Amino acid sequence: MKVFYDKDADQSLLQGRRIAVIGYGSQGHAQALNLRDSGADVVIGLRAGGASWSKAVAAGLAVTEVSEAVSTADLVVMLIPDELIAEVYCRDIHPVIRQGAALVFAHGFNIHYGQVTPRQDLDVFMVAPKAPGHTVRSTYTAGGGVPALVAIEQDTSGTARALALAYASAIGCGKAGIIETNFREETETDLFGEQVVLCGGAVDLIKSGFEVLVEAGYSPELAYFECLHELKLIVDLIYEGGISTMNYSISNNAEFGEYLTGPKIVTDETKQAMRDALQFIQDGSYAKAFILESKSGNPTLTARRNQLKRHQIEVVGEQLRGMMPWIKASALVDKTQN
């Protein structure tokens, strides 16, 4: 594994080059603002009349429509949702992107699964911060950064890696470490982690634990605290020093229960389901399902979002969080900003 830091990057490579950031959502706003504060020339490319236009203007950034932003740029950074990238690339980017420019991604999905085929004259690379955009921004403004992955798909200029490192450093990642990988590895591991552990696995584990306690007659409020609220305390300890540090910090009673009951919840059958999920990702079946979902107007996403809003854990959680104003005061997500 190759790891790079600020000392290995030359941010002067960005001087005299205009960077068009396409999109102003979680990653878009964070990377654009970090680039600007690092001295880069940044323009935001957005759909005319889009909800983010006024937010980017309010942040003091230059904003224009996508094709115009791309036509003036030396680096074009794709930070819109994965399901929109192929259409926007074909319509607004491919016809006008400069000869020899760099096309930059934060996730390998569209390249790995063949949704975008860049021109051969372009450098194509990925800089993927390993944190949500809000954290990318907050750690930068605090003087730090988050780790990032870099990958080179096309190195037409012969300097794609150096440019990727300069970009990663400018958004703050060189302070934490920049790890070199490839588009396939980043895409497949990222999708697996999200589906099996971070989002899919964790969310369903939380909901199931909550439901079991409530069905057994315990109060929803206590079930919320035990199965959702306190999870942050455990994850923070694991984040800080690994599983062993978490076990050091909890009681012997809790640790013994971990060893006794954990393997009964995550069984060999669960692990096989994880292997099946990985295969579903590796063979492209998940990508096909996701693309079809988007082209169909996101019926599953819409239905599941509405279903989740009505789940008792969300209703009770909103009430309980209202009793804890410090949570909102230190919130990572500010929907007014991006």
What is the number of alpha carbons within 13 Å of residue 287 lying toward its C-beta? Answer: 19
Q: How many residues would you count in the chain?
A: 338
* Residue 150: its H or E element: strand 148-154
Residue entry with tokens 């990572």:
332
Q: Amino acid letter at 59? A: A
Cβ-contact 197, 301 below 8 angstroms: no
Phi-psi group of 22: left, alpha or beta (phi > 0 → left; psi -120 to 50 → alpha; rest → beta): beta
Cβ-contact 130, 147 below 8 angstroms: yes
**Nearest to 171, CA basis, from 126, 122, 108:** 126
**Nearest to 118, CA basis, from 132, 130, 102:** 102
| Residues with catalytic function | 107
What is the number of alpha carbons within 13 Å of residue 239 lying toward its C-beta? Answer: 7
**Nearest to 311, CA basis, from 223, 231, 233, 235:** 223
β-pairing verdict for 62-65 and 3-4: unpaired
**Nearest to 184, CA basis, from 278, 43, 250:** 278
Residue entry with tokens 């206590």:
222
How far is it, in rounded angstroms, from Cα 149 to Cα 127? 6
Structure tokens at 174: 């060189």
